[in-house]
Amino acid sequence: MSVNPKYFLEQRIILVDSLRRKGIKDERVLTAIEKVPREIFVPADQKDRAYIDNALPIECGQSISQPYTVAYMTELLDTFDGCKVLEIGTGSGYQCAILSVLGCEVFSIERIEFLHNKVKKIFANLNIKARLFLGDGSKGLPEFAPFDRIIVTAAAPDIPSSLINQLKIGGKLVIPVGSRNEQIMTLVIRSSTNKYEIIRKDSFRFVPLIGEEGWSNE
């Protein structure tokens, strides 16, 4: 399929308008979504669906999150320029690209080697700077901690204690927590060494976080 790049830009503008109508208010987040070409991050046979506000299947039985979900989580994460962010679940690389465009220093970890390698190539082509890791992100990345922000883009049964411990004081963690079928988007704010505020938001559905502090791989 050969599509005029102007077509995709127009689609992005329409998508951003629809996200604004759905309640996304942070103009920095909306601008980042307008800048990142989502069609590059979806499989070839899904490109014509890249700007429908839906999650889409990617390789290895995983998914690229719905643009609304990406915008919602990014708004909740409340990043700032130079913010040091850990993302668990690189997947397609789309969320990671949005954080990078927002000026964050991003560390992103994925457990599936095929997806990790694919994103490395996409980022090299688009000149996106992020540090990509292969492994079980449910334990975080202790060697690079502490982080200003942590975002988990897979469904966790509980809030992994390793992740809380890798947050700076004042840091924020955004994570969908619940059953395998439905999760509550949860914001954790580390107010002091041993104090956390936990705020539960709306319900979502993610693929499972598989790992030592996630679900077992059945």
- Helices then strands, counting H and E runs in the chain, come out as 6, 9
Question: Do 151 and 174 meet the contact criterion of CB atoms below 8 Å apart?
Answer: yes
Question: Three-class SS of residue 174?
Answer: strand
Q: Min. distance of Cβ 217 from ligand SAM in angstroms?
A: 9
Q: Which CB, 138 or 166, lies closer to ligand SAM?
A: 138
Instruction: Name the nearest CA neighbour of 175 among 198, 147, 193, 195.
Output: 198
Answer yes or no: 161 catalytic: no
CB of residue 215 vs ligand SAM: minimum separation in angstroms? 8
Select 57 or 170, whichever has its Cβ closest to ligand SAM: 57
**Least distance from ligand SAM to the Cβ atom of residue 166, Å:** 14
Residues 122 and 126: their CA atoms lie apart, in Å, by 6
Catalytic residue among 18, 65, 138, 191: 65
204, containing H or E segment:
strand 195-204
For ligand SAM, the closer CB: 183 or 193? 183
Cα distance between residue 110 and residue 95, in whole Å: 12
Closest contact distance (angstroms) between CB of 212 and ligand SAM is 8
Instruction: List interacting residues with ligand SAM (CB under 6 A).
Output: 62-65, 88-89, 91-92, 94-95, 109-112, 115, 136-138, 153-154, 206-207, 209-211, 214
Q: Which is nearer to ligand SAM, 16 or 56 (CB)?
A: 56
* Phi–psi pair at 173, nearest 5 degrees: -120, 130
Residues that are catalytic: 65
